[in-house]
Each structure stands twice: as C-alpha cells, then as structure tokens.
C-alpha cells in the first residue's frame, strides 16, 4: 500500500528525475523507489 508523500527538490533534481523517468520508461515515483532501494542495498540498510 502506498502513501502520498511530498518532498521539496531543487530544479536540477527535478529535471534529472524527469529525464531518468523518461529514459527508463517509468513514472517519477518509480524512479525514486528504485533509487531508494538501490541505495539502501548498497548501504546494507534493511
């Protein structure tokens, strides 16, 4: 179950997020979830 959450991002971060989503063919939300999970795995956060 997903919960609506809001964050403030710099213009550069928003631009890069949009480009990543377009390149990967997924939503911006999906990009954020992917990146969070990848970083958590790298840092051994469970």
Dump pLDDT digits (tens) for 1-46. Answer: 889 999 999 999 999 999 999 999 999 999 999 999 999 999 999 9
Cβ neighbours, 10 Å, residue 20 = 16
pLDDT of residue 32: 97
Task: Give the pLDDT of residue 7.
Answer: 95
Please give the pLDDT value at position 25. 98
Do 21 and 30 form a contact (C-beta atoms < 8 A)? yes
In whole angstroms, give the CA distance from residue 31 to residue 14: 12
What is the Cα–Cα distance from 38 to 25, expressed in whole angstroms? 18
Tell me, what's the pLDDT at 5?
94
């Amino acid at each position: 179950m997903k919960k609506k959450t809001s964050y403030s991002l710099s213009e550069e971060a928003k631009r890069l997020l949009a480009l990543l989503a377009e390149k990967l063919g997924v939503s911006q939300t999906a990009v954020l979830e992917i990146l969070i999970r990848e970083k958590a795995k790298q840092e051994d956060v469970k």
